[in-house]
Structures are given as structure tokens and as C-alpha cells.
Amino acid sequence: MPSGQLIVLTGPSGVGKGTLVRSLLARHNDLYLSISATTRSPRRGEIDGKDYYFVTRSQFKKMIDQGELLEWAEYANNCYGTPRFDIEKKLNSGIKVLLEIDVVGARNIKQTFPDALRIFVLPPSLEELERRLRGRDKDSQEAITCRLEQAKKELIASREFNHIIVNDNLSQSLQKFENIIFAIELN
């Protein structure tokens, strides 16, 4: 049976990872997007089991203790992690699995899946990143400040990844994302 490909997409909060992923999935229904677990509260319009698995801190700790997460990290006072249950099954079935996760999680995945394709998304500038975070109208001022400070640290990590996409133009960034993912099949 063919082995699938694990694709990790990361970058600072607000850089446009979710928009890139949604656009890619709309064009390629043969990809599987992993759903992360989180201890944060749902944002307006988010659905449990579709956008995230929303869990309590005690449930999250239990998932860690029972080895149910491939990776996890705490970010902006909330925990996020990748449930193991579907990932390995999909990969063993030959399916490309896409993880949209934070930088710490992406680093952890490198330890367990060293052959994963790892892509870092950069903003055109910190000023643009701040504009995007404020434009989402989803976070408090305190959360935006925390995310911007974290982003400054995360941008340095971009050198650790196989590919970098500067998300300054959605259609061009999406094309580059597709080229990176599907070039694997040509090799």
C-alpha cells in the first residue's frame, strides 16, 4: 500500500495559513486536513469537530497523558495539539495529510516525522501582520499584542523549514503552495 505524505504548514498567527488551506482544499479534495484540539473557546462561527476539537484543560491533559497527541504546545495561554487517531491511518492509506499548526508543534512533528514536508508562511511585513490580526476582529487587544510578540520570535524559525511562502498575494501564494506539495509526485 502506498505511503501518504505529511505536510506541515506553519507561521505566525494572522499570516493567512487558514485562508491558504481553505483555498487549497477547495481545489484538491484528495487532501485530508487534520483537525487540532484546543483549550481555547470557540470564536464566532467555529464548530466543534470541524474547525477544532474544543476541549477543557483537564481533557487536554488526559490526551497528553494517554499519548493521543502527535504534538502539542501552549500558545497565547491556550493549548493546541494534533490528535493522533486519524493521521497515521490516513498516511498508511496513501493520503496526503495537511497539518496547519504553530511553530512549536511543527518543530515537534520534525522529531516524529522527519520526512514531513515543512512549509513556513511569512507575512509581507510585521505592519501587515498587525493589520490582519486587527482586521479579523476576533481577538482582544491583549491577545493581539501577545500574538505580535510571539510572531517576532517565530519569524526567526522560518530558516528551519523546507520551503518559505511570503503571503503577500493570495493567488500567487496558493500557486506556490500547490507547486510545493504536488512537485513531490514528480520526483
Choose among 4, 86, 92, 88: nearest CA to 37. Answer: 86
What would the pLDDT profile of 138-160 be if each residue is shown by its tens digit? 778 888 898 899 999 999 999 99
Class of domain 6-186: alpha beta
Domain ranges of the chain: 6-186
Residue 85 in this model has a pLDDT that exceeds 90: no
How far from the centroid of its chain's Cα atoms is residue 151's Cα? Answer: 14
Burial of 38 per CB tally in 10 Å (0-12, 13-18, 19+): buried
Q: pLDDT over 90 for what percent of the chain?
A: 67
